[in-house]
Chains A and B, each alone.
Chain A
Amino acid sequence: IQMTQSPSSLSASIGDRVTITCRASQTISTYLNWYQQKPGKAPKLLIYAASNLQSGVPSSFSGRGSGTDFTLTISSLQPEDFATYYCQQSYRTPITFGQGTRLEIK
C-alpha cells in the first residue's frame, strides 16, 4: 500500500494552523498513524488509528480521516513543532510510511 503525503515541505509561522494530507493507494479503514521526527531522533507517535491522540501529545495536534484520505492538523504552531511528519499505515503488511512532510519556520 503506497502512502503519499502532501505537501513534501511547508513553511509556516508561529501561531499558524497547518494541515498535512496523507493518501493511501487503497482503503485502509482507520489504520493510519502519524509520527513526528526531529533531526537525530527517533520518530515519536502523535496520532494513532487516524484520530486518537497519543498520551502526552498536545491537544493542538489532531487527526481525521478514514478509507484513503487522512489529515494531520496543528491548530497553532509552536517552536517545538518544526519537524518532519510521517504517516504510516498498519492495515496490511508490508507496513509503509509516507515520504514525509518537512515543516519549516517561515
Chain B
Amino acid sequence: QVQLQESGPGLVKPSETLSLTCTVSGGSISSSSWSWIRQPPERGLEWVGKIYYSGSTNYNPSLKSRVIMSVDTSKNQFSLNLSSVTAADTAVYYCARKTTEPYYFDYWGQGTLVTVSS
C-alpha cells in the first residue's frame, strides 16, 4: 500500500518561499508521476504541477514563474518550492501519485495547511 506524507512549515511570511516535501512509502518513486495539488480554505482543487523520477517537470502555467519541483530518488521524496508567496497561496497542499494511462490520482497524502501571514 503506497502512502504519502507531506511535511514542511505551516506558516510562511509574505514574499518568502514555501517549501514542502512529500515522502513516499510502500512503493518506489521511480514509477508514475508525482503531483502537488492545493486547496484554499472552503474552495476547490488546483493542480500545481508534477514531476517524474527522472526530474522532468510540468507546471501549471498560472504558477509556473514561481514553482520549482525536485525529486530525491534515494530518499523516495519529492519537493515543492513556491516563491514570492502571498495570502492567496494559503491552502492545504496535497501530494498525490498520478498513474500512467489512463491517468488518475490514486494515492494522496493527508494534506498540510500552509498559511501565508506576517
Contact = CB atoms under 8 A, between A and B. Distances in A.
Nearest to B46: A97
B44 A42 contact: no
Determine the interface band of chain A, counting residues with CB < 8 A from chain B: 20 to 34
B44 A99 contact: yes
B104 A42 contact: no
Contacts of B44: 86, 97-100
Contact of B108 (A42, A48, A88, A93): A42
Contacts of B35: 95
Contacts of B61: 94
Nearest to B105: A45
Interface in B69-112: 94, 96, 98, 102-106, 108-111
B62 interface: yes
Contacts of A90: 98, 102-104
Contacts of A88: 45, 104-105
A100 B46 CA distance: 12
- List the 10 closest pairs (A to B, CB-CB), nearest first: A90-B103, A42-B108, A95-B47, A48-B104, A49-B102, A97-B45, A33-B104, A94-B60, A99-B44, A100-B44
Interface of B: 35, 44-47, 50, 58, 60-62, 94, 96, 98, 102-106, 108-111
